[in-house]
Amino acid sequence: AMRGGLTLLDGSSPQPSLVDSARGFAIGIIAASIFGDVDTSKDLSQDRFHSVFATPLELHLHFTAVVSSAIINVILFASLALFFRQPPLTLLKRQCSGLAAGCVSWHVLAVLFGAPVVDAFHKTLVFALFMSTLTAAPLACALGARLEGWCAALSSGPAA
């Protein structure tokens, strides 16, 4: 009996034609010329990436993301305080609430799309922080807590 693979109704296995073999070989040559040779000696499984908290490169990336997020938030706060001419405390409350709600929303969304829940929690949290800095915090500063404004801004038409 055959181990795995394709079997026909009569129990025999189909033989690849010479054209199929040549086509596979040509695709392999083209892929190798574009992407280079595949190094199969390296372990590319995700398990080795989660064995330690973070590699030095990841720590640098996390630090850069958090610092740039803080800088973007300060610039956002200063520009909106000048543009809207509202009390700074009101804008600060809006920005902090938008950042917190955005972090939770982006983290849940990332987990729903397959981000590891426990193994790489810190990586998903840094991603959520950076994304909420770019999306939720500016919207929260501009729109406040009015649900109608959020619906109108995030939908294609006006809120009902």
Can you tell me which residue has the tokens 């959520």?
Answer: 128
In this prediction, the residues of the chain whose per-residue pLDDT falls under 50 are 1-4
Residue from 59, 88, 60 nearest 74 by CA: 88
Q: d(Cα 125, Cα 103) in Å, to the nearest integer?
A: 7
Please report the pLDDT score of residue 52 as a whole number. 59
Mean pLDDT (the chain, rounded): 75
**Contacting residues for 113 by C-beta, under 8 A, at least 6 apart:** none
d(CA 151, CA 88): 25
**Residue 139 token pair:** 């919207």
Instruction: Report the pLDDT value the prediction gives residue 60, as an integer from 0 to 100.
Output: 81
Q: What CA–CA distances, in Å, run from 15 to 1, 7, 9, 12?
A: 16, 10, 14, 9
37-to-24, 27, 41, 43, 157 alpha-carbon distances in Å: 16, 13, 12, 15, 50
- What is the predicted pLDDT for the residue at 11? 63
Each residue of 3-41: pLDDT tens digit? 445 555 666 665 656 556 666 666 666 666 666 665 556
pTM of the predicted structure, to 2 decimals: 0.57
Number of helices (H), then strands (E), belonging to the chain: the values are 6, 0
| Residues 94 and 144 sit within 8 Å (Cβ to Cβ) | yes
